[in-house]
Structures are given as structure tokens and as C-alpha cells.
Amino acid sequence: MVKYLVKDIDEGVKLLRLDDDRTRFFEAAWHIPEGITYNAYLIDAPGGQILVDTWKATYSDLLMEALGEVTRPGRIKYVIVNHAEPDHTGSLPAVLGEAREAKVIVNAAGEKVLRAKYRLRNEVVHVEGTRSMDLLGEEMTFIHVPWVHWPETMFTYQGRTGTLYTCDVFGSFSIPPGHSVDPGDARYLRSAEKYLITVMGYYRKHVLSAIERIDSLGLRISRIAPSHGGVWEGDVREPLRLYRAWAGAEPRSRSVSMAYVSMYGSIEAAASRIFNELSSRGIGVSATAITDSEYPDLEEFLVDANDASAIVLATPTYDTGVHPRMKFLLELMREKFRGVEKPVAAIVSYGWGSNAARYVETVLRETGMKVLAVETFRESLEEGQASRVADLIAGAIG
Amino acid sequence: MVKYLVKDIDEGVKLLRLDDDRTRFFEAAWHIPEGITYNAYLIDAPGGQILVDTWKATYSDLLMEALGEVTRPGRIKYVIVNHAEPDHTGSLPAVLGEAREAKVIVNAAGEKVLRAKYRLRNEVVHVEGTRSMDLLGEEMTFIHVPWVHWPETMFTYQGRTGTLYTCDVFGSFSIPPGHSVDPGDARYLRSAEKYLITVMGYYRKHVLSAIERIDSLGLRISRIAPSHGGVWEGDVREPLRLYRAWAGAEPRSRSVSMAYVSMYGSIEAAASRIFNELSSRGIGVSATAITDSEYPDLEEFLVDANDASAIVLATPTYDTGVHPRMKFLLELMREKFRGVEKPVAAIVSYGWGSNAARYVETVLRETGMKVLAVETFRESLEEGQASRVADLIAGAIG
């Protein structure tokens, strides 16, 4: 059920959250049975109201309805655009259509996108770099944090409440039951990591830079308010630590994440032997099987791989190259694991000639991973191949 | 329900067909809600019995049960292996385990695969090139037709009944209600074309060569008996014509097949304008939409594209490149439309910098297609772009 939540999260700060369980594939790419939210925030400043971000275009009417419950749109004096992407600006035309006097706070790069997307009649206030200003009696700081996840992305810090409005960063898929994150909710954290890897994986380094930038400013942050998912309340060292670990693909434990494609069982048999060799060395293995009966969500493998100490990929040769589903997975890794120097081993089977091994190795090296081995076999692993792979992995992960 | 069919299709020729509705993804890649069959044939020759091909390993027990209904396995004197792939040889060890005196007829390349896969204790009779022989009183001709779909693939022709046993070629997905193909059954034909493109698309030219080879031999063929799907009975000019047209990607009508990925609607709006421009020129368009609510089976698009006079692809830029689902589709086309010189136009949107247009064009050119145009736009098509694309397509398809 599509619904919205209006909730006071601080004195004079309201969360306006749209709960979207209709979108099956976020960005037309990521399967999200858990749903997603779009969060806007309405700040009651002494001199008028400030809206931080909006919702997706589809939900413009609902945003106007939600706003109507708590204000008259004419009272909105400023709309802050932290990120120009349509899931946060789609309802902007509806808001500005009512709040005709409202000024749009955005940097020049963001304005360019807004003007390309929408008829923008309202006045624009430019903020570049890091800039503090008194806004209707609220001390606000705008911090340009490029490429999280577009060049124009920025954070907004509200001094009075210690709230950092971060848009996509610190966001998550899923629809939390309350407004705030329960840091003990493992499902939520999993979904947040999935969001980070799928949507922001290409921009990992920029996420780390943005977190460093925040650290360096010495802000007194007591709340992180993203535009997807739950609000982090209280001690924000935990979300900073988590998102830093996720963006850095830090191993959670001494473990391997394995994905394989098996058409008729020979790759599955090889994967099973490697599983046993790793297990006998005390290394836990999570396996993602792509077979003639299963095609699991690869988003889940990406999260497993992000958490693992090392990765194993196994594929048959298909049409002289890599199996199409492994090719898809490799291309996802090329995008989302860019610069992640994690150890990886690959297994490639063949019946006739094969360019598959070279292809796998090239993609993994271009991604920036540490390629430990690309083992090939015909029909079944040769003596010693599985233990060699396991030894290399054990050696690499210590 | 997994079941089998034992059916006399000629005097002394029995079809043994396993109906598999459990396999969801053939080759761990192609979604087949329609199921698939594995066909073996038992020939009652004057001097004993000949088995042509077998089933998938999973169904070995059922094959032995089916054989037990119509013969004693010891009566089988020869097993002909037209294709060594596991969906046709997986049950071979079970058969040979009972029919210990049976000789395996296969070429050297096929034997190599069999020996790598299975413990082969039975005697092997080599057949290379095109060779006729009297087999237990049946005149049989073995015709090596390489790369349909492995190097070792061959057809077997039985002179007395005019039956050509073709294994993968002339095969189909789906489980026909009767043993033979109803040439008026459009659903069956669609599934057969889907099989040809997905499984054999990379080997189109070899399929055409195999059909030419058959033509050139002047055989009196009155039945085509493949190892997947229905048996073609009677006038075989129709299947020859159909598979030639499918392998040659011959346009069925003056039409365009379009596939697009749209995250927030701007590509969808562009696709819709191109749809209108094409329609106004009397060109029919079938559209495959990949959005945040839909991810249709791309196999169906591949069939549409195979039948169309021209193709249109539209994608947003994503992480500075092509959207991952369009990348997957492009890679499928690179494999399955290899050498298909069909006109294609592409539309690429971008917000910031983009390498997507170059990538799309490179893949399409490497595939061998006629790239008419790669149009790019920011947020929405510019004046004249849609009509230019439509004009180019109308010009190319005449």
C-alpha cells in the first residue's frame, strides 16, 4: 500500500515520508521487494518554512496533500534541493506551483539539471562549496559533496537541531516501521548496505570522501536525515562507521562469497569441492547458485561479496565466451566494485575452445580486484585445483 | 508434471519423449515457462534395435522405465549420438550400463566429449563426414553438420522411413500436445523461433549451412525428428523454410522492434515519440519496456527483433555508461545476432557526461548490424530527432 507518514522528529522539524511498495525495480534495475521511501523534511523556522527535498513525480498529489495537513504551501519560503535526481525533485514543480514565492536553494550544477527537467519560474539562490547562512532565523550550512551520487549532490546541516540532511547518502531501501532506524534491526542494515552498493557502488570513494568531509567540519551532528529509509537519531558514530565500512567493502568476517552458473552440473560439482576445501580451512562460504531452476537476485550476492574477505566466481564457457548471466554479474561488479581491492578467484569450465577465462580475468583486473587465480577445467576439476584455490584464498585473507 | 510419452511414429520407429516442465531456465539462461522435451528414438531394425540420442541425466531412471515398456535394453545394438551435450547424453551411462554390448556411433570429436564426461566402456564406431552404412538391415546416413550447436553435431538419416534425426536443429521449446508439430500452431512456432535464437543464435550461419547441406544431398525426407519439441511430419519444405528464415533473421513484415530502459520516464517519453513517428509512416512497432515496474523476458524481445525489419534501442546513461539492463540486452544481441545485418537505431539520454552512446554503437557495429543513427539527448528529445530516426528507418526498410 502506498501511504505517507507525517511525523515531528524535532521541535519545528517534520518528516514527510512517502512509503512506496509499488516500485519493483529501483532505477529500473534493483529488485526491492522491501520497498523504498522518499523523505522530505519541513522546517518551521522563525521567519517561515523551509522544505528539504521532495518526492517522486508520481506522488506529487500525495505530497501536496501531506503538506496541506501541516502548512499552507504559501508559507514555504525556501526549498532546498540536495540532489536533483527525479526521485527527490519529481514533485518540485507541484510544490513550486503552489509556493510561488519560494526560493530554490541549489548549486549551479543542480540548477542546470532542474532547468533541463522542469519549467522553473521561482527564484534560485546559489550555494557553492561549503557555505553557512542564516535562513529565516535558522543557521544552515550547505556542504557540496560531489558525486554522491551526482556531481551536484550536497548535504544541508541545520545548527539548531544538529540535523544533517544527506539525501542519498545514509539512505536505504525498505520501509521502516517507525521513522527512525533501529540499529539492531539486521534486516534494515542489510537493506541499507544493498542500497549503498547498488545505487552508490560506483561512487564508493566519493561516499568515503563525503564522510571524511563531514568529519573534518567538526559539526555537532545528533541526527542524520537521509531521503530514503529511516532517520538515524542520537549517536551518529554508528551510521558513520557502518557506511564507511560498506563503502570500503570491509570484510565482516573471514569468509568467502561465491557465485556460480551451472548448466548441467559440472560447475556445481566444482563449486562444491571448493566449498569443502574452504570449509576445511575454517573459512565460511555463502554461495549464490545460478542454475536451470534458480536465478536469485544478484543484489544479494553483491552484498554478500561486499561483506566477504574474498570472492569466488565460477562459470561454464558458453558460445565460446562467458555464460551470459555470469557476464551480467561481472559487468555489475565492474561498476559496483570499482576500486575494491578484494581477493578473487575464478573457475572456468570449457568443452571446446574458450575465451571465457581471459574475459573473466580482464574484467576483474579492470575492476581493480586482486585476482588470485583463474583456474580452467574440462568437464571436472583436475587433482589439486580445488585445494590450490583454497590455499591461495586462505593465504590472501590470512 | 514431468512425464514421458512413448509413441509409434512409423513402422518400427518409436518416439521416447520426456516432457520437462521443471526446468525454469534452459541452459541456466532462457526462461521457458512453456517447458521443453528431450526426444530419443528407438528404431526396430531387422537385426536388432538402434537408439537415437537419450535424455538429460536427471531423467535416466525414467528413460530406463520407458525403454523397459517397449524392449529389453539388451536388444539395443547401437546408440547413435548426434550431439554430445548433456541434455541428450546425460542418460547414456544408464542405457549403456544395461546395454553392455551396444556400440556407440559418434564422430571422434563427440567421442572426446563423451569420454571426458562419462566412463565409456562400450565399443565406439566412428563416423566422420557424410557416410552411409547398413546398420542391422537399416540404411543409415550420418551427416556431420559442425557447430549446430557444437563442433561434433551430426544428423542421422534413415532411408527406409525418410526420417532425418536432427537433434537440436529443427528443435523447439514447449511440450506439444501430440507427438507431431501442428504447422498452424502459432504458439509452437514462436517457441521454436525462440529456441533457435536463444540456443542456436550464435550459430545462425551454421544452421543455414546445415540446411544447405541437407538440400544438396537430395535425400527423400518425409519426416524431421529433432530431439526437442515436436516431430515435423509430411512435407518438410515448411520447416526448412521456417528455420532458414529464422536463422537468417528475415523480416516477417515492415515493422520495428523497440526495447527501452526508462528509470524516471524521459526515455519512455522519447520512445513514445519515436513510436508515433514510425506509426505515422505506416510502420508497426512492438515495444519492450524495462522500467521500475516491469522487467519482461528478453527472450521475447529477441524473437520480436529477429522478425522485425529494423530495431530501435533506447537507454539512459547510468554510472556514466549504459544502463545495466540495456548492457545485458546488448551483450545478448552481440552473441545471438552475430552477423545479422539488420538496421538499428539507438537513443541515449544523459544528464552529465556519458560514454553510453559510444558503447552502444560499438557493440552494435561489432555485432554486424547496420547502425543508422545513435541519437543522444539531455532530458528530452530535441526538435526533429524523432522524425529523423523514423525517416532513417523508413528509408532503410523501404
Distance from CA of B356 to the nearest CA of A (A): 13
Q: Residue B179 phi/psi, 5° resolution?
A: -80, -25
Does B325 contact A379 at a Cβ distance shorter than 8 Å? Answer: no
Q: For a pLDDT cut of 70, what percent of chain A falls above it?
A: 100
Q: Which one-letter DSSP state was computed for residue B47?
A: T
Reduce the DSSP state of residue B201 to 3 states and report it: helix
B319 and chain A: CB distance < 8 Å anywhere? yes
- Name every chain B residue with its beta carbon within 8 A of the beta carbon of A319: 202, 335
Q: What is the pLDDT of residues A197-230, one digit of tens each?
A: 999 999 999 999 999 999 999 999 999 999 999 9
Give the pLDDT score at B274: 98
Record: contact A292-B28, CB cut-off 8 A:
yes
Contact B53, B82 (CB under 8 A): yes
The answer, for B295 touching chain A at a CB cutoff of 8 Å, is yes
> Which of B188, B218, B247 marks a domain boundary?
B247
A173 pLDDT higher than 90:
yes
Q: Which residues pair with B321 in a beta bridge?
A: B318
Contact state of B28 with A291 under an 8 Å Cβ cutoff: yes
Distance from CA of B25 to the nearest CA of A (A): 4
| pLDDT surpasses 90 at B352 | no
Q: pLDDT tens digits, residue range B213-257?
A: 999 999 999 999 999 999 999 999 999 999 999 999 999 999 999
CATH code of residue A36: 3.60.15.10
Residues B223 and B277 in one domain: no
| CA dihedral for A136, A138, A144, A150, sign (positive or negative) | negative
Tell me how many degrees the CA angle A131-A132-A134 measures, rounded to the nearest 5. Answer: 140
Residue carrying the nine cell digits 520407429: B13
Inform me whether the C-beta atom of residue B378 falls under 8 Å from chain A C-beta atoms: yes
Test the B interface: residue of A56, A261, A292, A338 with most B CBs within 10 Å:
A292
Coil, helix or strand for A155?
A: strand
Enter the C-alpha cell of residue A167: 539525501
Q: Do both B57 and B186 map to the same domain?
A: yes
Nearest CA in chain A to B58: A264
Q: State whether B29 and A325 contact (CB < 8 Å).
A: yes
**B87, B264, B288, B298: best mutation site toward chain A, by most A Cβ within 10 Å?**
B264
| Strand A321-322 to A310-318 pairing | antiparallel
Residue B66 belongs to what H/E stretch?
A: helix B60-70
pLDDT value, residue A315: 98
For residue B332, which residues of chain A lie inside 8 Å, CB to CB? 324
The C-alpha cell that represents A320 in the structure block? 565460446
Q: What is the pLDDT of residue A351?
A: 87
Same domain? A129 vs A182: yes
pLDDT tens, position by position, B262-274: 999 999 999 999 9
Distance of residue B39 Cα from the nearest chain A Cα, in angstroms = 17
Which residue out of B2, B20, B26, B27 would a mutagenesis test of the A interface target, given it has the greatest number of A Cβ atoms within 10 Å? B27
Is it the case that residue B353 has pLDDT exceeding 90? Answer: no
Question: What pLDDT is recorded for position A379?
Answer: 86
C-beta of residue B229 within 8 angstroms of C-beta of residue B187: no
Contact B292 A57 (CB under 8 A): no
Query: How close A30 gets to chain B, by Cα (Å)?
Result: 9
Q: How far is CA B243 from the centre of its chain?
A: 10
A398 in B contact zone (CB under 8 Å): no
A214 with A132, same domain?
A: yes
Helix (H) or strand (E) holding B271: helix B266-280
Say yes or no: B129 and B274 in one domain. no
Q: In whole angstroms, what is the distance from residue A77 CA to residue A138 CA? A: 12
**What is the 8-class DSSP label of residue A148?**
S
By residue range, what is the domain housing residue A382? Answer: 255-397
User: Which of B48, B51, B27 has the alpha carbon at shortest distance from B40?
Assistant: B51
pLDDT given for residue A54 in this prediction: 98
Closest CB to B264 among A24, A86, A319: A86
Is A250 in contact with A279 (CB distance < 8 Å)? no
In this complex, which of A25, A202, A321 lies closest to B292 when CB atoms are compared? A25
In this predicted model, what pLDDT tens digit does every residue of B154-192 receive, in sequence order? 999 999 999 999 999 999 999 999 999 999 999 999 999
Asked if residue B97 and residue B76 are part of one domain, the reply reads: yes
Contacts of B264 in chain A (CB under 8 A): 56-57, 85-87, 90
ipTM surpasses cut 0.85: yes
A335 closest CB neighbour out of B324, B328, B379: B324
pLDDT digit string, tens, across residues A265-303: 999 999 999 999 999 999 999 999 999 999 999 999 999
3-state DSSP assignment of residue B113: helix
Phi then psi for B281, rounded to 5 degrees?
-95, 10
Q: Which of A247, A282, A303 is the last residue of a domain?
A: A247
Residues of chain A neighbouring B28 (CB-CB closer than 8 A): 261-263, 290-292, 295, 323, 325
Nearest-5° Cα angle at B359, B358 to B361: 65
Confidence class for position A335, pLDDT limits 50, 70, 90: very high
Q: How confident is the model at residue A353 (pLDDT cuts 50, 70, 90)?
A: confident
Asked if residues B167 and B173 have their Cβ atoms less than 8 Å apart, the reply is no
Task: Select the residue of A22, A25, A324 nearest B335 (Cβ to Cβ).
Answer: A324
Query: Tell me, what's the pLDDT at A241?
Result: 97
Residue B70 clears pLDDT 90, i.e. is over it: yes
Of the candidates A46, A18, A122, which has an alpha carbon nearest to the alpha carbon of residue A80? Answer: A122
In angstroms, the separation between the Cα of residue A272 and the nearest Cα of chain B is: 18
For chain A positions 152-191, those within 8 Å of chain B (CB to CB) are none
Take residue A16 and report the three cell numbers written for it: 514527510
The CA distance from B102 to B109, in Å, is 20
What is the percent of chain A where pLDDT is above 90? 97
CB contact (8 A) between residue B113 and residue A87: no
Which residues of chain B make contact with A26, given a CB cutoff of 8 A?
Answer: 292
Question: Pick from B197, B227, B247: which residue ends a domain?
Answer: B247
With beta carbons less than 8 A apart as the criterion, state whether B239 and B170 touch. yes
Confidence of residue A337 (pLDDT cuts 50, 70, 90): very high
CA A106/CA A115 separation, integer angstroms: 12
Rounded CA-CA distance A243/A17 in Å is 22
Look at residues A95, A104, A99, A86 and name the one whose alpha carbon lies nearest to residue A66: A95
- The residue type found at A12 is G
Using alpha carbons, list the distances in angstroms from residue B235 to A64, B216, B241: 68, 17, 11
- Residues in A 12-71 with any Cβ partner in B closer than 8 A: 22-29, 56-57
Same domain? A177 vs A81: yes
Record: contact B293-A323, CB cut-off 8 A: no
pLDDT-based confidence at residue A2 (cuts at 50, 70, 90): very high
- Testing the interface with B: which of A206, A319, A326, A378 to mutate, by most B Cβ within 10 A? A319
- What pLDDT shows up at residue B379? 86
Split at pLDDT 50, 70, 90, the class of B73 is confident
In this predicted structure, the answer to whether residue A3 has a pLDDT above a threshold of 90 is: yes
**Cβ proximity of B268 and B262 under 8 Å:** yes
Statement to judge: residues A262 and A283 lie in one domain:
yes
Say which range, A23-32, A112-121, B14-23, has the weakest mean pLDDT.
Answer: A112-121
Cβ neighbours of B29 in A, within 8 Å: 263, 318, 323-325
Give the integer Cα–Cα distance in Å for B323 and B306.
Answer: 23
With the C-alpha atoms ordered B134, B136, B139, B143, is the resulting torsion angle positive or negative? negative
Of B113, B293, B324, nearest to A332 by CB-CB distance is B324
Closest CA to B165 of B37, B344, B41: B41
- Quick one: A46 exposed, middle or buried, by C-beta within 10 A (0-12, 13-18, 19+)? exposed
**Cβ B319–A202 below 8 Å, yes or no?**
yes
Least CB–CB distance from A113: residue in B291, B292, B351 = B351
Characterise B347 by phi-psi region: left (phi > 0), alpha (psi -120 to 50), beta (else). beta
Q: Does B147 touch chain A (CB under 8 A)?
A: no
Distance between A145 CA and the closest CA of chain B, angstroms? 16
Question: Angle at CA B195, nearest 5°, toward B190 and B198?
Answer: 120
Handedness of CA A90, A93, A99, A102 (dihedral sign): positive
Number of independent structural domains in chain B: 2
Distance (Å, whole) CA A320 – CA A350: 8
The yes-or-no verdict on residue A354 having pLDDT over 90 is no
Q: Strand, coil or helix: what is A260? A: strand
Q: Minimal Cα distance from A89: which residue of B? A: B264
Give the confidence band of A73 by pLDDT, cuts at 50, 70, 90: confident
Ramachandran quadrant class, A236 (left: phi over 0; alpha: psi -120 to 50; beta: rest): alpha
User: Residue A157 — very low, low, confident or very high, per pLDDT cuts 50/70/90?
Assistant: very high
Distance CA B242, CA A91 (A): 52
Residues 211-250 of chain B whose Cβ lies under 8 A from any Cβ of chain A:
none
A74 pLDDT tier (thresholds 50, 70, 90): confident
Question: Rounded distance, CA A43 to CA A8, Å?
Answer: 10
Is there a single domain that holds both residue B43 and residue B121?
Answer: yes
Whether residues A40 and A101 fall in one domain: yes
Residue A376 C-alpha cell reads as 580452467
Rounded to whole angstroms, the Cα distance separating B55 from A122 reads 70
What is the CATH classification number for the domain harbouring B361?
Answer: 3.40.50.360
| B67 Cα to chain A: minimum distance (Å) | 23
CA distance A229 to A179: 8
Same domain (yes/no): A49, A190: yes
Query: Which cell numbers hold the place of A271?
Result: 563449486
Best residue in B292, B297, B325, B326 to probe A by mutation, most A CBs within 10 Å?
A: B292
pLDDT tier, A9 (very low <50, low <70, confident <90, very high otherwise):
very high
For residue B111, pLDDT beyond 90: yes
Check whether residue B213 and residue B288 sit in a common domain.
Answer: no
Half-sphere exposure (CA, 13 Å, Cβ side) for A363? 22
Our CA-based measurement puts residue B22 at a distance from the nearest CA of chain A, in whole angstroms, of 7
Residue B218 zone, left/alpha/beta (φ > 0; ψ -120 to 50; rest): left
Contact assessment for residue A189 and residue A242, using Cβ atoms and an 8 Å cutoff: yes
Q: What is the β-pairing status of strands A3-10 and B255-261?
A: unpaired
